[in-house]
Structure formats: C-alpha cells, structure tokens
Amino acid sequence: MKQHILPAIRLTVVCLVFFIVIYPAIVWGIAQLTPNKGQADTITVNGKKYYSNIAQNFSDDKYFSSRPSAVAYNAAGAGGSNKGPSNPDYLKEVQSRIDTFLVHNPGVQKSEIPSDLVTASGGGLDPDISVQAAEVQVKRIAKIRGITTAAIEQIISENTQKPLLGLLGTEKINVLKLNVALDKLK
C-alpha cells in the first residue's frame, strides 16, 4: 500500500501546482497580449457601461435587432436551449420569431431572413450578427429614423469585422457598436 500512496501524493502535489499556479499564469500571460489585456470590452453611453462582448436586447424598431437569446440575455446563465432542429417546441419558437420579424419588417420575404435573426447561438449571448442580418433591417430603420439607406449602409460597412487573417470565420457586426454608431448619426 505504501508503494501506491506516495506516488499518488506526489502526483496530487504536482497537479495542484500545475493547475493552481502554472496554468493560470500561462492563461493570464496570453490574455495580456490581447488588445484589452484580458478585460471585457466595454462601451460607455450616456454614463452607462455596456459590455460589447455580451449580447444586448434591442427590441425598439429604430435599432438593429440582436440575435435571439435562449437565456433572455442574462450573462449569469449562459447556455443554449439544447433543442434539436426537429423538436416541435423549437420549431414553434423559430416560427414565432420569423412571424415577429416579418411584422416589424414589412416588405421582407421569409426567404430573405438570415438564420441568425431567428435562432439563438449555442451560448445564448452572441453579440454579433451577420452582414446579411444587418442589411435586411436597413429599410425599417431608415424609415423610422427618417434617414437614407445609404447612411445606414455606410455605418454597416464601417462596423463590419472581417474574418481573422482573412480566412478564419465570417464577416460579422457587433450589434451594440452598430446601434451606438446609429445613435451618433443624428
């Protein structure tokens, strides 16, 4: 028994040192190389702080709509719905989102609605939408705000994030940054 206990204790000590000291130090060091030094990306608007890396709920028609959230935009409980694409409850929820979108965006056909406007992300807090999801909302926002579609399309262009290294991922737009830029337009 003695021959098994000592190696187990040594392995436990090595794991404790590695996972409590060395590994967190490595992660912290890598975070210091990022633009925000590992801190959240925040935007302050009218004295209120918002986190641009967490989805915000924009339900007013004068703003670009966010991607739906399976957790009601609550960052404390991030997670997906875990319902498959053939689940009847999930299909009803998606159809309800499509119907709501069509009511708020007259003139848009069902086939023109990008999937990211009616389906929640895996974590339920995706702050980004596709360029297509932004473009399908331009007419509604231009009409409500009384500005030209060209002005809104310029804001979309300025806020579009390209894929990493031009290869990894797709073009995307942070909805919070887009809506803040939209409010600054006046």
Q: Which residue has the higher pLDDT, 72 or 114?
A: 114
Distance from first CA to last CA of the chain, Å, rounded? 77
The pTM score is: 0.77
Instruction: Say if CB 133 and CB 140 are below 8 A apart.
Output: no
Q: H/E element holding 51? A: strand 48-51
Residue range 121-174, pLDDT digits in tens:
877 788 899 999 999 999 999 999 999 999 999 999 999 988 877 778 888 999
Instruction: Say if CB 114 and CB 73 are below 8 A apart.
Output: no
Instruction: Say if CB 162 and CB 171 are below 8 A apart.
Output: yes
Residue range 97-131, pLDDT digits in tens:
999 999 999 888 999 999 989 988 877 788 899 99
Residue 74 has φ and ψ, to the nearest 5°, of: -100, 105
Say which residue the tokens 């975070």 belong to: 31
Q: H/E element holding 45? A: strand 42-45
Domain boundaries, the chain: 1-39, 41-184
Neighbouring CB atoms inside 10 A of 58's CB total 16
